Amino acid sequence: MIPEIQRFGRDFATRSIAPRKKAYDERVLRKGRDEWRVWDPKKSKLGAAMQKGLTDVPLRRGMKILYLGISTGTTASHLSDIVGFEGMIYGIEFSARMVRDLMQVSSQRKNIVPILADARMPENWAQRVEKVDLVYCDVAQRDQSEILMRNAKVFLKKGGHMMIAIKARSIDVAAKPRDIFVQEKQKLSKMFNITSDVNLNPFEKDHAFFVGRMI
């Protein structure tokens, strides 16, 4: 995959840029002077996607990421290990309770920028961020594909990438998850080449994870 992500047995892990500081209750492996933080697939959808065989991971050191729905920074902490201090993660989260915990993580990882704001209204916070190489979207909202596309239009660099977790239940509780995934894929295909899609079962019920590149 990429050197910043390593396998230890079944687990994936990232080399911590903030040794001895946990971002959540992840397991930590010590190898020589390095600390590798195990990526918990039950707590991170990207972690789950990799466990389900996703290898198409367009992440590299020094890259900039816009993270919609960053929550308390569980997944973002691994992205933060990967992009390193030359990179940056702009995290949008509208729940103050989540941002409270996120700011704790962000003060130990200066490449995570916490922004208490609504991902639906980029006009309110656009001036705080830069253009990015990747938009990661995990807002668990009915209109999450639209939210991703609206933000990608403003913030994603030409040829940039996207990752999105689709939660079927937050789009329609009654419809078949598979139908929803197809429908969301179609929507997103207007703007992106979807290069991978994985189902997150059994780590997350009725979730899909897409990776794509802006056309």
Ligand X SMILES: C[S@@+](CC[C@H](N)C(=O)[O-])C[C@H]1O[C@@H](n2cnc3c(N)ncnc32)[C@H](O)[C@@H]1O
**95 vs 186 by CB, closer to ligand X:** 95
**56 vs 118 by CB, closer to ligand X:** 118
Determine if residue 52 is left, alpha or beta; phi over 0 gives left, psi from -120 to 50 gives alpha, anything else beta. alpha
Per-residue string for binding with ligand X, 52-81, x by CB under 6 A? -----------------x-x--xx------
Chain positions 125 to 184 lying near ligand X, rule: CB under 6 A, are 138-141
Q: Give the C-alpha separation, 42 to 51, whole Å.
A: 10
CB 153, CB 208: distance < 8 Å: no
Beta strands in the chain (DSSP E): 5-8, 11-15, 28-31, 34-38, 64-68, 88-93, 112-116, 132-137, 156-167, 192-199, 207-214
159 Cα distance to chain centroid = 18
The tokens describing 64, both together, are 């900039």
Residue from 21, 29, 108, 116 touching another protein (CB under 8 A): that is 116
Stretch that binds another protein, among 26-34, 52-60, 103-111, 182-190 (CB under 8 A): 103-111
Partner in contact with 75, chosen from another protein, ligand X, none, beta carbon below 5 to 8 Å by kind: ligand X
CB 138, CB 200: distance < 8 Å: no
Q: Give the C-alpha separation, 162 to 193, whole Å.
A: 10
Check binding of 41 to ligand X (CB under 6 A). no
Per-residue string for binding with another protein, 37-56, x by CB under 8 A? ------x-------------
Site residues (CB under 8 A) for another protein? 43, 71-72, 74, 85-86, 88, 90, 95-101, 103, 106-107, 110-111, 113-116, 122-124, 126-131, 140, 154-155, 157, 167, 170, 173-174, 204
